Amino acid sequence: MRLFLTNAAAVCIFLLAACDRDGGVNPPTEPAQPIQGPAPPAQKASGVGVTGTGPASFVGRWAAEADWCFNPRGDRVPIEITTTELRGYENRCEIKRITELSDGYEAALKCDAEGEARYERVRMTATAQTLAITWLDRSDRPVRLVRCMTPTG
């Protein structure tokens, strides 16, 4: 046992002596170099918060008529869509799952409207100024909305 401890101590001393005392440490007056790690994995096309240009196409405030964009309250107000939910007059839908399609997105929603919860599926197809939302579990006809512009344009 004593021989093992002596050998282990000798190995530790040898390893410490091999350390580069000057290399790898920047002086206090110079900033450290950034750590180069592996690139983050690419995000899958499905899942809430899909990255890329897609969500920018449907995120925003949308209304059935452009005049509704200026209504602060009531039943003729715009809906607001984020990457995680849709909010409108007396309703809120959480985006539980979203899948990118060739021409838009299909989303599974959990909606709370007037005290009742229900699950819905929608397809969203956007252009620069319009959004078509098709409620797949209802009439399967698109509802066309216009983008509400912010005061800055």
Tens-digit pLDDT profile for residues 18-64: 454 555 555 555 555 555 545 444 444 444 433 334 566 889 999 99
Residue 43 lies in a domain: no
Residue 4 lies in a domain: no
Residue 19 lies in a domain: no
Q: What is the pLDDT of residues 78-111, one digit of tens each?
A: 999 998 999 988 889 999 999 988 888 999 999 9
- Total domains in the chain come to 1
**What is the CA 1 to chain-centroid distance, rounded?**
58
Residue 83 lies in a domain: yes
Q: Domain range holding 83?
A: 54-147
Its pTM surpasses 0.85: no
Residue 100 lies in a domain: yes
Residue 62 lies in a domain: yes
Residue 93 lies in a domain: yes
Read off φ and ψ for residue 2, nearest 5 degrees: -65, -40
| Residue pair 143/78 in contact by the 8 Å Cβ criterion | no
